[in-house]
Structure 1
């Protein structure tokens, strides 16, 4: 589409089809909310639909992979995309974007690298047309019925508000308006849905009644902020993916160099062994060859002597006197004895010589077993991210560089006295101490989310023991029998340990929902579930669910994402931090709300503890601070304000008669120790 850069900047992502990456044409919206071109959606459904021809026929959304049921699987295959409603908002935005901004050029001519001024616009094709292309367009059989407007006279140059009427339509029954809200299922429905699916539900109210109590501005701000927050997390994940891609490319280059170096080292070693063996062969051959040469020379000398004797014997016997014959024969007899002796010696000395190669006895096995230099291994370790937690819009408001606020003008009542490291040599990630427990035996237990460990330290902060878990732990609590319970949220598991000379697991229980915070109240476990139903589970110590706590007005009161839980020393008040709603809520043991605490400078409340007087101390994960709150829900003072290094406080734990406390931070290897000051 020919639109100005400003328009493209405003609508680029909304108006682009995720499949063809072009401007949406006849945009169709799925129940999950994602929109595609009609033709792109049809192609996707035809290729991906499963259980074709049955009532269970469905296909995955190309973006979110949600299973989407065909509204009518008896329809013709080439009409499946038509069954889904048009996204009227996107369609209107398309009209606005093509009719409002900048000079228009013919889209067809542009494909041929020609810029021809557009005179008309086809609302069905979403294309600008010059005079000539308009004539061809109108003569095309499939385009005869299209709505083509004259740019100079036939369209409104003001920005139109998109038609929103289709938002009120039921996605299951397109001709019905949404009229009811089912509180039991947290679903909006039309008359038909209400009769067919919710007639047995106890709490179904008209949508007009819901509108009266629904804070749309707060909810809109909450959703917008959290969608952006999720986008930020996805960008962080994308960055990690790119980082991994760079890392494995670097790993590949390093391994290639390592392989070549290994081959070079082997070549050098083999060449050295070969040279040494050849030198040994040459030396041995030279020695034996010289011996044989000397033996041959002596034999040749003897042969020459024998020849000379035979010549003399023949001459004397032919021409000599009898005396001469006696003398020569006597001499020859002595020579004969010498010859026999020489032959005997030669035969004794003469050996059959054979030079051979005796290989190292380990060499054949080495050659047979050396089928490879090594193996390429791929280690896939779970990337550790802090939980993607809902945040409120207020935390995105601009702050000054030094983090100054009114609370910083208040007197600080906590002083940092020391810090110590909880990083172990075999930790694969930076520490994320999500909870701290102090025992009466002066032991301190640190729950490390990133490294999936429980770490036990002594009074002087020396490591006593640690245990690796199969999953990331979040919260812990000490039971009456001095055993310890730890939550593993994503595994929906609570582990129970004995902290003796050697820590050991004794049992585990499974939970219906994710388990984040945990506290012990008499013989019951109080479990917070985060965004998994935004509820609180009450279990017995065997894991049986006794009840579920979720205030009826939790949506309107923004009591969302219950994260951490703390019970006061008298076991009479339960404190729950609601991360999304920026709230601390105090309940009595009957689960009636005693008070709700909020503060403009407390964002993303997480870790909770109580001091000697019973006041609550609360960590602000997103506001980088720690506040002290009275037992009736009033701010007393700010103990820790935002630091220059922007450390994110996660949890706090008092010890030593309640005058000293630990503070831990996100992705931080040290734990800070503070003293309360008057």
Structure 2
């Protein structure tokens, strides 16, 4: 889902000598009352009072609202001549007409150059926006253009939901096969832990005994996972029945040092640690199709690529490098698309993405969960010690319930419900 937003710079919001107090458009339209605005919805282009903000957030949870300190100071107080309860807010550069929200929806829905009339536009600062004085402007490019932004860059809020009672004794990897089925690996254990139905119980689980210490687990399809075994140099494909009993296993030789694993378009993407320090794309028989170890300039890409995952659109491989303290985004051709490195990230571990493309990353020694955009731009520190996060290593996202699962060394798996700020 796309979100509407205008990029207002600080100079256009707070630097005027005379800042107008904005009023709630809902109260003006429906109750004919003047109530000071406390927020601005960038989806609806509407100013809202505190009460209307509360109900707007409750009823339209995906809308992004700027609070009073960051909302634009808009001079558009001219009423529409067609829809007399609506304010003139837009100018269509294609049709060369002004529009209120209703006009924009009815007459300009197909127009690509519909501009919002923001605060302090060059040429009309310190004056009220009206058709007369805006028409006199020669440079319509100075108006801000209506933009679409994706929900992946909207900051999330994480609310604690519950604990899943299982001891997380070391590095771990989480994988959701469905909204109620969770698989967990621990490096110091030779077991795969399975929570078959978390809607019934989050304290009861089964274990599968394994021949060696496993590292990462990734979903292949709704009944199949891939598990890496560092010491054996294999990936084990495990197929389950509907009641989550093992029906088939298959070993794929992939070479020593295999750590992270992901699946995409009938291919396995595997990371290798220490002196190998590579990422390989393999077919389902283990044949190497591509090897990524150098960047475009011939420099080593990785030092210790422990975990990896795939972007929501299946175009980018996200690799967390434990010793380089960064996340590297690679295309499937091996080109570096983005790198995330931050003072608030120490020892990055498992990472996951939601359906929109937002990236959630564990900082093991920084004791936090980072939220990143699809291009690996920092959005916010989603969780840290203040929310009880300590040494997080594994993370998984549930699309159906909009929940984040976080495993912590020496602690239970914590579950958080996500929402838009």
Structure 1 length normalisation: TM-score?
Answer: 0.36
Q: Is the 8 A contact 1:412 1:638 kept in 2?
A: no
Is 1:623 the counterpart of 2:366 in the alignment? yes
Residues 519, 537 of structure 1: alpha-carbon distance in 2 compared, 3 angstrom cutoff: same
Match of 1:527 among 250, 257, 270: 270
Question: How many residue pairs end up in the alignment?
Answer: 261
Match of 1:455 among 193, 197, 211: 193
Deviations 1:528-576 (A, max 9, x none): 0021411112211111222221114798576311111101232111111
Shift in Å, 1:505: 4.6
The CA RMSD over aligned residues, in Å, is 2.4
Q: Is the 8 A contact 1:433 1:446 kept in 2?
A: no
Structure 1 counterpart of 2:138: none
Match of 1:418 among 162, 173, 185: 162
Q: Is the 8 A contact 1:562 1:577 kept in 2?
A: yes
Residues 630, 656 of structure 1: alpha-carbon distance in 2 compared, 3 angstrom cutoff: closer
Greater share of strand residues, 1 or 2?
A: 2
Q: Which has the larger radius of gyration?
A: 1
Residues 623, 555 of structure 1: alpha-carbon distance in 2 compared, 3 angstrom cutoff: farther
Match of 2:251, SS state, is strand
Residues 554, 454 of structure 1: alpha-carbon distance in 2 compared, 3 angstrom cutoff: farther
Q: Is the 8 A contact 1:474 1:486 kept in 2?
A: yes
Distance 1:656 1:522 in 2: 20
Greater share of helix residues, 1 or 2?
A: 1
Q: Is the 8 A contact 1:513 1:532 kept in 2?
A: no
Q: Is the 8 A contact 2:218 2:227 kept in 1?
A: yes
Structure 1 counterpart of 2:416: 674
Structure 2 counterpart of 1:579: 322
Match of 1:477, SS state, is strand
Match of 1:465 among 190, 198, 206: 206
Distance 1:643 1:549 in 2: 38
Q: Is the 8 A contact 2:308 2:317 kept in 1?
A: yes
Residues 499, 596 of structure 1: alpha-carbon distance in 2 compared, 3 angstrom cutoff: same
Structure 1 counterpart of 2:340: 597
Residues 464, 445 of structure 1: alpha-carbon distance in 2 compared, 3 angstrom cutoff: same
Q: Is the 8 A contact 2:274 2:304 kept in 1?
A: yes
Distance 1:489 1:592 in 2: 26
Structure 2 counterpart of 1:494: 235
Which runs of no fewer than 5 residues in structure 1 stay unpaired? 1-410, 424-429
Deviations 1:316-359 (A, max 9, x none): xxxxxxxxxxxxxxxxxxxxxxxxxxxxxxxxxxxxxxxxxxxx
Q: Is the 8 A contact 1:624 1:643 kept in 2?
A: no
Mapping 1:106-145, distance limit 5 Å: none
Structure 2 counterpart of 1:609: 352
Mapping 1:562-573, distance limit 5 Å: 562-573=305-316
Structure 1 counterpart of 2:379: 636
Match of 1:600, SS state, is coil
Q: Is the 8 A contact 1:624 1:647 kept in 2?
A: yes
Match of 1:503 among 246, 251, 262: 246
Match of 2:226 among 449, 471, 485: 485
Shift in Å, 1:465: 2.5
Match of 1:608, SS state, is strand
Match of 1:517, SS state, is strand
Structure 2 length normalisation: TM-score?
Answer: 0.57
Deviations 1:366-412 (A, max 9, x none): xxxxxxxxxxxxxxxxxxxxxxxxxxxxxxxxxxxxxxxxxxxxx98
Residues 606, 658 of structure 1: alpha-carbon distance in 2 compared, 3 angstrom cutoff: farther
Q: Is the 8 A contact 1:612 1:658 kept in 2?
A: no
Mapping 1:208-357, distance limit 5 Å: none
Q: Is the 8 A contact 1:488 1:494 kept in 2?
A: yes
Deviations 1:224-282 (A, max 9, x none): xxxxxxxxxxxxxxxxxxxxxxxxxxxxxxxxxxxxxxxxxxxxxxxxxxxxxxxxxxx
Distance 1:538 1:552 in 2: 16
Distance 2:401 2:353 in 1: 9
Which runs of no fewer than 5 residues in structure 2 stay unpaired? 1-154
Distance 2:310 2:210 in 1: 26
Q: Is the 8 A contact 1:422 1:431 kept in 2?
A: no
Distance 1:665 1:649 in 2: 4
Structure 2 counterpart of 1:475: 216
Match of 2:392 among 649, 657, 661: 649
Distance 1:537 1:610 in 2: 20
Q: Is the 8 A contact 2:257 2:276 kept in 1?
A: no
Match of 2:231, SS state, is helix
Mapping 1:23-172, distance limit 5 Å: none
Is 1:436 the counterpart of 2:177 in the alignment? no
Distance 1:633 1:651 in 2: 19
Shift in Å, 1:513: 2.9
